[in-house]
Structure 1
Amino acid sequence: MRTDAQIKQDILDQLEFQPNIEETKIGVVVKDGVALLTGSVFSYASKIAIVKAIKKVAGVKGIAEGIKIGYMSNLNKTDTEIANSAIKAIEWHTSIPNNKIIIEVDNGWITLSGELEWAYQKDAARRTVEYLSGVKGVTNHITFKQTSIHPKDIKKKITKAFERSAMIDALGIAVETTDHAVKLTGKVRSIAEKEAAQKAAFNAPGVYAVQNELKIEY
């Protein structure tokens, strides 16, 4: 069992290792494996990069994120400019049927809505717009069009995806499927592995919801 002090030091080392993160502007406190983050960054993309980097640290069980975004003047964008950038980004993405997505922007916050066929398309839409300049956050309200795929076939595809992944220990994860919903149970080594398993499950055809009950143990 790693101590909170050891986890904190690993987090600081991880942030310092990332060339796109100004680690000196971020405060870190760790209690019972949960990392409390404070400080400020100049973009939503930087905020995402920090959280993503910390999720890779062994022993981190959760993240309480209190990082604020303070834009430099050259990064400020109007809602119209952000919306136009988001529309173009979605149009250029080959995996997303752009004519089925509605983009709304309010004070730098993007809301996505519409109906798509697969969960991976919904995730791709979010990832495509969240790194755009001027974006303060993304709410993803995209829903799914019903498809007829048997739960056993869904489970088989997810299990195979786990076995192919270098990040996921397939032997430690149990998969249950009911209609278009998936439940994951078992043990993983980090938040990053837990999220990788959830993403792999979401990417399987016919999956609309994933109940991720994987426990982090190191």
Structure 2
Amino acid sequence: MKTDAQLQQDVMAELTWEPSVHAAQIGVQVKHGVVTLAGEVGSYVEKWNAERAAERVHGVKALAIEMTVALPEFGKRSDADIAQSAQNILGWTSSLPADAVKVMVEGGWLTLSGDVEWQFQRQDAANSLRYLSGVTGISNQIAIRPALSATVVKSDIEAALKRRAVADAKGIVVTVNGADITLTGDVHSWAERDLAKRSAWGSAGVRNVVDQMSLVC
């Protein structure tokens, strides 16, 4: 098991390895496996990439984000301009039904709302806006509206875990309560944890996935 000092060095090295991140501007602190990232970055997408880089490091139990986005002068735009661009992009995103997602912008921060039927649509909405100039952050509050014909079956999700070669599929317990899924059990990496959650989200009509899995390093 890595010490906090080793984990700090590994996270710093991964940030340096990530070409989209200015690692020198990001401070890394570690306590009991919990990594805190602090500092100023020049764009929301750089902040997002720094978070993903830290998650890739084996041994990271949790992340605390204290980074702020300080846009350069040439990157600043009015909220009205950002909102118009965001609506255009959402309109061009083929996976989204027309007018399904609404955008509110305040200080460059986007809040997304509305209803969709699938988790991938919810993710596509946020992903399509991540690289938009002038954005300082995104709150994804889009709700998943269960399809009227959808039946969430415990065995279907468990089968998906096995198909996708989740190493500890047998150790992950799937609990279904209506359209809400709860995952418990032990996993050994962030990648395995994400794969388990994506498998659960893969059933039509899933409204919420509660991650209560434990990361065992």
User: TM-score, length-normalised on structure 1?
Assistant: 0.91
Matches of 2:118 and 2:7, distance apart in 1: 37
Q: Secondary structure of the equivalent of 1:214?
A: strand
- Determine the structure 2 residue equivalent to 1:214: 213
- Determine the structure 2 residue equivalent to 1:148: 149
Task: Write the letter of the residue equivalent to 1:201.
Answer: A
Deviations 1:158-215 (A, max 9, x none): 2343234367642332212121110101111233432332233223211001111110
Matches of 2:39 and 2:98, distance apart in 1: 36
Q: Secondary structure of the equivalent of 1:122?
A: helix
Change (3 A) 1:83 1:195: same
- Determine the structure 1 residue equivalent to 2:112: 112
- Determine the structure 2 residue equivalent to 1:58: 58
Larger CA deviation: 198-207 vs 49-58: 198-207
- Determine the structure 1 residue equivalent to 2:24: 24
Q: Secondary structure of the equivalent of 1:132?
A: coil
- Determine the structure 2 residue equivalent to 1:69: 69
- Determine the structure 2 residue equivalent to 1:158: 157
Task: Write the letter of the residue equivalent to 1:137.
Answer: G
Deviations 1:90-149 (A, max 9, x none): 122221113221111111111111221222211221222233111111122222333333
Matches of 1:197 and 1:117, distance apart in 2: 20
Contact 2:151 2:204 in 1 (8 A): no
Structure 1: any 5+ residue segments left out of the alignment? none
Matches of 1:126 and 1:98, distance apart in 2: 16
- Determine the structure 2 residue equivalent to 1:124: 124
Q: Secondary structure of the equivalent of 1:131?
A: coil
Deviations 1:21-80 (A, max 9, x none): 111111111110000111110001100000011111111011111111111111111112
Task: Write the letter of the residue equivalent to 2:150.
Answer: I
Matches of 1:9 and 1:204, distance apart in 2: 39
- Determine the structure 2 residue equivalent to 1:43: 43
Contact 1:168 1:196 in 2 (8 A): no
Q: CA RMSD in A?
A: 1.8
Q: Which has the higher contact order (CA 8 A, sep 6+)?
A: 1
Task: Write the letter of the residue equivalent to 1:70.
Answer: A
Task: Write the letter of the residue equivalent to 2:211.
Answer: N
Contact 2:152 2:206 in 1 (8 A): no
- Determine the structure 1 residue equivalent to 2:194: 195
Change (3 A) 1:124 1:203: farther
User: Identity across aligned pairs (percent)?
Assistant: 36
**How many residues end up aligned between the 2 structures?**
216
Task: Write the letter of the residue equivalent to 2:149.
Answer: S
Structure 2: any 5+ residue segments left out of the alignment? none
Task: Write the letter of the residue equivalent to 2:17.
Answer: F
Counterpart check, 1:94 vs 2:94: yes
